[in-house]
Amino acid sequence: MLKKYAALFIGLISVIFVFLYKFYSTDETIISNENKIALTKEQVLKSNEINKYFKHKSKVNGFNGNVLFAENGNIIYENSFGYSDLGSKTKNDLNTKFQLASVSKPFTAYAILLLKQRNELNLDDSVQQYFPDFPYNGITIKLLLIHKSGLPEYFYFTEKLWNEKDKEITNSDVINLMIDKFPNRYFLPDKKYNYINTNYCILAAIVEKITGDSFNEFMKEEIFEELGMKNTFIYNQENISSYKDIAVGYEREKIKAQDTFLNGVVGDKGVYTTVEDMLKFDQALYKGEPVQSEILEEAFKPMHEKLLINDNYGLGWRINAEDSTNKIVYHTGWWKGFRTYFIRELGKKKTIIILSNLSNKAKFGTKELIELFN
């Protein structure tokens, strides 16, 4: 009997030894069943660490959403947590589409740069070139992109001036209100940085003015379809119900976020997408197609001398250029229950995408996420 157990014990030890040898062999790659991507042992260990971190965030802080970490375009980790619809108990999965909130701004900037590349606009063009009655002088497309326009925040002045709260306001409505009512600007243009959503509302309207298409149509035909982003669209009240797998936004106590007349404005927000479609956009930025790399390099330059080099803003991107060999460009967003993060380490070609539809205490710092990946 003892010999039998001894033989079993030796056999078990042998199996464990073979497993450990293969796992720690330097040439060994491990196949992640979840992502169907060949990962090295180092990447598997990193994936496990990331998984542990987000499971903790889900359990302790109530994180609810989708996550993707990639390196050189290869997915190191992706996962879904919680529910896309708490009412129907529909779980989030990799097909779930989330409102990007302000992470929509890099897309709007990308559209502007595409038109610049086609010589259909110049960044020094005045807003009045496209809207002659616009009452604020001295504001260029570039000043809108880098948040130095001095314009008032449309979130606030429309609350007072827009009388049809049961109807969604559009970008054109916002501009017409500015023309008709001339709400006070915060300061003269090109004086200082002030992050204002109005800037990107106007940029989207300029795209429409130049192309003759709706912002929705232009983005779909010229960018989303071009990049193979089949699960991405721009919100409007008519089209939202025609899409499947749409996440519902929830506030702190898992209360469904209320619709608002402000939802109708796009450019500053309004893009719905998945984590994997976001990775396609990320890869297009690296490849320089369709917007060329030389133009994108301008987008990733800090544009504000008075801001810190590690907390700056470019053409549609927040920028940390503290390490010139590994510049970090990113954007975050919040809107009506949605909280989003899009972080890119340019030198290491690492990408972090977090899309959440529950705005609660599960928040993330950019530095914290980069340290987790590295």
- Residue boundaries of the structural domains of the chain: 33-373
H or E stretch covering 43? helix 41-61
pLDDT tens, 45-100?
999 999 999 999 999 999 999 999 999 999 999 999 999 999 999 999 999 999 99
Contact call for residues 374 and 266 (beta carbons, < 8 A): no
Give the percent of the chain with pLDDT over 70: 90
Q: Residue holding tokens 């903790």?
A: 56
- For the question of residue 102 being annotated catalytic, the response is yes
Which residues have CB under 8 Å from 310's CB, separation 6+? 320, 321, 322
Give residue 362's pLDDT.
83
Token pair for 268: 């500053």
Residue 38: predicted pLDDT: 81
* Distance in angstroms (rounded) separating the CA atoms of residues 374 and 369: 9
Q: Is the predicted pLDDT of residue 3 greater than 50, yes or no?
A: no
CATH number given to 33-373: 3.40.710.10
- Out of 47, 84, 102, 149, which one is annotated catalytic? 102
Omega within 30 of 0 (cis) for the link into 290: yes
Are the CB atoms for 57 and 72 separated by under 8 Å?
no
